[in-house]
Amino acid sequence: AQSVTQLDSQVPVFEEAPVELRCNYSSSVSVYLFWYVQYPNQGLQLLLKYLSGSTLVKGINGFEAEFNKSQTSFHLRKPSVHISDTAEYFCAVSVPYSSASKIIFGSGTRLSIRP
Amino acid sequence: DAGVTQSPTHLIKTRGQQVTLRCSPKSGHDTVSWYQQALGQGPQFIFQYYEEEERQRGNFPDRFSGHQFPNYSSELNVNALLLGDSALYLCASSLGRQNTEAFFGQGTRLTVV
């Protein structure tokens, strides 16, 4: 079975400061890794994904994440945040080549940006 | 190109009632998955439909059932509603059963009173 742990439930940062949202996963098989963002009263939008290859993945809105297999981590980073980045962020995994492909989500990290 | 569309956007039901939620997948997608997101939590997988069959099911009771139509749209039915069923229900569509990229709808906010 797979599981995802987001280590911080809330992360407050000042505008234009860098931010890192932490994510660790557990799986006995290889997984795909994702970060989704959810703005208030909206669905989920894919920020970025790691399927294979380069461990540094760049996504939309200036976000990037690094896959670390030895530490089973997939932390999300942005060098300079904007007020519009205020949202809930979810780390997630799925198992490739399985009979079905459900996505398993972490509990989320609320990013709040202070002016 | 319309993305994933869900209806209705909001719904209020009474305990014991039944509800049907609807989802139209992104154009070209043939797989639909349903998720329940309780307040302050991450989405939880309910089930996935592919080729009009339920392919995988999460840890949800039989009160939760679904259907996929030949045009790939899908319905989620919940019977005998409980207060604890109040949540945001999200539909995700993808191509095939490999979730290399799933697109989510805006969700249906269900409130059970």
Using one digit for the tens of pLDDT, what is the confidence trace for A58-89?
999 999 999 999 999 999 999 999 999 999 99
pLDDT at A99: 64
Instruction: Write out chain A residues lying below 8 Å of B100, CB-based.
Output: 32, 49, 51, 96
Q: Report the b/e string of A38-61 with b at 16+ CB within 10 A.
A: beeeebbebbbbbeeeeeebebee
* pLDDT tens digits for range B22-34: 999 999 999 999 9
Residue A85's SS3 state is helix
| Residues 6+ positions from A111 with CB-CB distance below 8 Å | A11, A13, A19, A21, A81, A85, A86, A87, A88, A89
B106/A contact by beta carbon, under 8 A? yes
Tens-place pLDDT, residues B34-73:
999 999 899 999 999 999 999 889 999 999 999 999 999 9
> Mean pLDDT of all residues in chain A?
93
The answer to whether residue A100 scores a pLDDT higher than 80 is: no
Return the H-helix or E-strand segment holding A75.
strand A73-78
Tell me the nearest-neighbour CA distance from A42 into chain B, angstroms. Answer: 5
With tokens 């490739």, the residue in question is A96
Q: Which residues of B touch A32 (CB under 8 A)?
A: 99-100
What does each C-alpha distance from B15 to A112, B81, B107 come to in angstroms? 35, 5, 21
pLDDT recorded at residue B66? 97
CATH code reported for the domain at A3-114: 2.60.40.10
- Domain boundaries in chain B? 5-112
**SS3 (DSSP) at A59:** coil
Contact A53/B at CB under 8 A: no
% of chain B at pLDDT higher than 70: 96
CATH architecture label of B5-112:
Sandwich (2.60)
pLDDT band at B2 (very low <50, low <70, confident <90, very high): confident
Could you tell me the sign of the dihedral formed by the alpha carbons of A111, A86, A2, A51, in that order? negative
pLDDT at residue A65, rounded to an integer: 98
**Domain locations along chain A:** 3-114
